Amino acid sequence: MLVAMARKTANDDLLAPVTLAVGQEELLLDRAVREVVVAARAADADTDVRDLNPEQLQPGTLAELTSPSLFAERKVVVVRNAQDLSADTVKDVTAYLGAPAEEITLVLLHAGGAKGKKLLDAARKAGAREVACPKMTKPADRLAFVRSEFRATGRSATPEACQALVDAIGSDLRELASAVSQLVADVEGTIDEAVVGRYYTGRAEASSFTVADRAVEGRAAEALEALRWSLATGVAPVMITSALAQGVRAIGKLSSARGGRPADLARELGMPPWKIDRVRQQMRGWTPDGVAVALQAVAEADAGVKGGGDDPEYALEKAVVIIARAARSRGRG
């Protein structure tokens, strides 16, 4: 898949004289390069690609690479970590930006920020095609990335499936992209949460949060089943108590917050908007007393798994049952 999850300038010609890819997300930077190379080789199968790091681009090297050829061949010159170029080489590149050579596409990969800003500003002033490749640190960004990956393949995945995949894989975009590719290749029709579960619930983080989700939803039997499966596959008990604590605290935070749009509540509570929607669904049946009881159960389980008890598994099972009951406290009198 060659679609980068990135903003682009109005000049979206892949064969523009200069492409500037800015950010620190390696997958997106690599895709920005690959897009240009694929377009260049579609125009000329014999395109020569030179992929250079700052040490390989010395003063005079760019002039040599971009000098006219007897064969008028198309070239793509990729410069990685352009923010680390020497001052003399930056002068060469800046001069080149003012009069780029025909049939040559220069791709500058720059981390952004203050280092090497002179070159960054020069490329932008010269009208370089720009692709933003920011590091995706927020869960909501990774969720949007997964959705875009499925859209790029023309396949349909439910919102729950996309969220389950992010929960299972974590923050590595390469792994997320690979997981989408695998699901698309292996599964026909719409990809749902059950499919993602079959493929990826072996991940420790995912299985821990599955236990927590089922518990705060009041689904005791399913939570206990997920707990036993997690422990049997080697998930550390402390990961499960951590997930339980996060789940109950989220219920408490949202239940005590004033009403409002998910985006407003997300800013107020420090949660991504998608989590606000999920917790809203989970908090039905909860009362303030139920939250207090559940938090106490988590604290006791945490002490139990950290050496305060003889049987960590029992401590976790007890906490899961108490939390599930607390989730059903409203309406029981």
Do the bridges between strand 104-110 and strand 129-132 make them parallel or antiparallel, or are there none, so unpaired?
A: unpaired
- Split at pLDDT 50, 70, 90, the class of 94 is very high
202-237 CB burial, b ≥16 within 10 A, e <16 = ebbebbbbbbbbbbbbbbbebbbebbeebbeeebeb
pTM > 0.75: yes or no: no
- Split at pLDDT 50, 70, 90, the class of 121 is very high
Residue 24 clears pLDDT 50, i.e. is over it: yes
Residue 45 clears pLDDT 50, i.e. is over it: yes
Across the range 276-282, mean pLDDT stands at 80
Question: Can 139-201 and 205-327 be said to share one CATH topology?
Answer: no
- Strand residue runs (E) in the chain: 18-22, 48-52, 75-79, 104-110, 129-132
Closest CA to 149 of 175, 190, 117, 181: 181
The domain locations on the chain are: 18-133, 139-201, 205-327
Amino acid at 124: R
CATH architecture of 18-133: 3-Layer(aba) Sandwich (3.40)
- Split at pLDDT 50, 70, 90, the class of 9 is very low
Across the range 80-109, mean pLDDT stands at 94
Residue 267 clears pLDDT 80, i.e. is over it: no
Do the bridges between strand 48-52 and strand 75-79 make them parallel or antiparallel, or are there none, so unpaired?
A: parallel
**What's the alpha-carbon Rg for the chain, to the nearest Å?**
26
Closest CA to 244 of 308, 171, 300, 163: 300
Angle at 247 between CA 235 and CA 215, to 5 degrees: 70
Rounded to whole angstroms, the Cα distance separating 80 from 8 reads: 19
Q: May I ask the CATH class of domain 205-327?
A: mainly alpha
Q: Contact, 249 vs 291, CB < 8 A? A: no
What are 67-78's pLDDT values in tens digits?
876 566 789 999
CATH of domain 139-201: 1.10.8
